[in-house]
Structure 1
Amino acid sequence: MAAQFEPQIVLYDLACTKNICFSPVVWRIRLMLNYKQIPYMTIFLEFPDIEPTLKGLGLGPSDPASATNFKYTVPAIQHVPSNTYMMDSGPIAQFLESNFPERPVPLTSELGREIEAKARGLGGKAFQLSVMPREIGILSPRSQEYFRRTREAGLGFPLEKLLDSDKEEQAWATASDGMHAVSELMGTNKAEGPFVLGAKPSITDFFITGSLQSARTVDETVFQRFAKYPGYMAIYEGCLPYMEKKD
């Protein structure tokens, strides 16, 4: 008789109509769980249910100094053996690395920090311009209303206004040279393996892969924009074995 599945971690993820993970920040943690082979189960939350659910678990709001503009976000986890709850990908990654040290995942490196900063700075605007207005297409009606209301409050105009093909093409064209340079940087240790540090993945690889998989889930054509950059694709393809569990 097969042993009963006993999750060590409950992962709170963002719901979409495809019933799979699509959030880039949640993917970072999901990739880490999959790579470390930590047994876990997923609870998907609609956008408007994130804050009340996490409050109900006793979690406090995000640190005002954090990068997010929202008080409550996913990923969040419950560590089942200790009944510990936490939120935000940074603290969660540190917790997983401390409590599940087998198959270690480097959480920082000089090369990784440089790649992450340049990837955000050089390709981040084009990525957001293409992904954010299309994201609404894979959300439930309740989440669509929340997403539109909160994002348009910051933008000051309808999401659809971002879908100007000329502006989108210009954003990717502007980012192209920089993304080629970052792609080359990602291949610094390609003689040892497909990942940033060589043979084994680090959190930077999960950052890159999570972003690409988010784009792919939202719209395949956005993902294909990355296909011309060998460094991005080598990392993504290297992480494919750790992306089988998406739900």
Structure 2
Amino acid sequence: MASQTEPEIVLYDLACKKNTCFSLVVWRIRLMLNYKKIPYRTIFLEFPDIEPTLKGLGLVPLESSKGKYTVPAIHHVPTNTYLIDSVPIAEFLESTYPKPSLPLTSEFGSQIQEQLVPVIGSSLQTSVLARELPILNPRSQEHFRRTYEPLVGHPLEELIHKEEEAWTSVDKETRAVGELMLKNRAEGPFVLGERPSMTDFFIVGLIQCVRVVDEGVFQRLTKYPGFGEIYEACLPFMEKKD
């Protein structure tokens, strides 16, 4: 193994003007690296540079990503292993660095994630997508518009006009899934109780993405039960952001 003073992992992440991680998916892996105290360094890529860079490393996108190259990707230096996509990366890290252990899946965690995605997907889309543009560098802004504006059918800035309606429509459901996150609160601060799991990192990656994009939306989201509590519990694993 490499010396603890040298990075064992090179993490490929998405660049932004704030020079910090804001990708919700990359944050899941970053939280895991920080939790396990695995030494790593980050290479930030602009949107248009992700595909040529990862292709150049010999990586092939998974079928689940429909042929698209995405971050996170990693290079495990000691074994010269390259991986793409958060799920196989998490599995590799857990098997290679088993202590401290991190449950990658659980029945209860899956229940929360399945409820969380559709509930807050629409509300955060209206709040975050348009506000994300200003934190991107110009080349990534152009790529972002080309990718997402055909999906929503209008300029991204217009999403904000639907913001209040979107949040109101899922208010009860957002509160319910947040309360579900607190089910094991008596046993500890995390979703499963005493120790974190990938479900915590799934939730916190989403929240931290929101926070980097817009503090006001972050405050709005974390006023719901569960969201703020899980976020605060994971703060010790968020010190390294770049």
What is the aligned partner in structure 1 of residue 165 from structure 2?
170
CA displacement, residues 161-211 of structure 1 (integer Å, 9 cap, x when unaligned): 2120xx211111111101111111101110111110001100000010010
Please state how far the C-alpha of 1:69 moved relative to its aligned partner: 5.2
What is the aligned partner in structure 2 of residue 107 from structure 1?
104
Identity %: 65
Q: For 1:49 and 1:216, how far apart are their aligned partners in 2? A: 25
Q: Does 1:87 align with 2:93?
A: no
Please state how far the C-alpha of 1:229 moved relative to its aligned partner: 1.4
What is the aligned partner in structure 2 of residue 76 from structure 1?
73
What is the aligned partner in structure 1 of residue 60 from structure 2?
60
What is the aligned partner in structure 2 of residue 24 from structure 1?
24
Equivalence map 1:174-213=2 (5 Å)? 174-213=169-208
Q: Which amino acid aligns with 1:106?
A: P
Q: Does 1:34 align with 2:34?
A: yes
CA displacement, residues 27-61 of structure 1 (integer Å, 9 cap, x when unaligned): 00000000000000000000000000000000012
Q: Which amino acid aligns with 1:22?
A: F
Number of aligned residues: 240
Partner secondary structure for residue 85 of structure 1: strand
Please state how far the C-alpha of 1:70 moved relative to its aligned partner: 5.8
Q: Greater helix percent: which structure?
A: 2
Note closer, same or farther for the CA distance 1:26–1:4 as it changes in structure 2 (3 Å cut). closer
Contact kept in structure 1, 2:4 and 2:39, CA below 8 Å: no
Partner secondary structure for residue 186 of structure 2: coil
Q: For 1:236 and 1:116, how far apart are their aligned partners in 2? A: 15
Q: For 2:20 and 2:55, how far apart are their aligned partners in 1? A: 24
Out of 224, 229, 236, the position equivalent to 1:229 is 224
Please state how far the C-alpha of 1:155 moved relative to its aligned partner: 2.2
Moved over 3 A (4+): none
Q: For 2:55 and 2:37, how far apart are their aligned partners in 1? A: 29
TM-score (norm 1): 0.94
CA displacement, residues 195-237 of structure 1 (integer Å, 9 cap, x when unaligned): 1000110000001001000000000111011122121111000
- Between stretches 4-13 and 212-221, larger displacement belongs to 4-13
Partner secondary structure for residue 225 of structure 1: helix
Please state how far the C-alpha of 1:5 moved relative to its aligned partner: 2.5
Q: Which amino acid aligns with 1:208?
A: I
Q: For 1:106 and 1:62, how far apart are their aligned partners in 2? A: 23
TM-score (norm 2): 0.96
What is the aligned partner in structure 2 of residue 147 from structure 1?
144
In structure 1, runs of 5+ residues without a counterpart are none
User: What RMSD over aligned residues (CA atoms) do the two structures have, in Å?
Assistant: 1.2
What is the aligned partner in structure 2 of residue 11 from structure 1?
11
Please state how far the C-alpha of 1:153 moved relative to its aligned partner: 2.4
- Between stretches 51-60 and 178-187, larger displacement belongs to 178-187
Partner secondary structure for residue 135 of structure 1: helix
Q: Which amino acid aligns with 1:173?
A: T
Partner secondary structure for residue 78 of structure 1: strand
What is the aligned partner in structure 1 of residue 211 from structure 2?
216
Q: Does 1:158 align with 2:155?
A: yes
Out of 212, 219, 240, the position equivalent to 2:235 is 240
Q: For 2:190 and 2:227, how far apart are their aligned partners in 1? A: 10
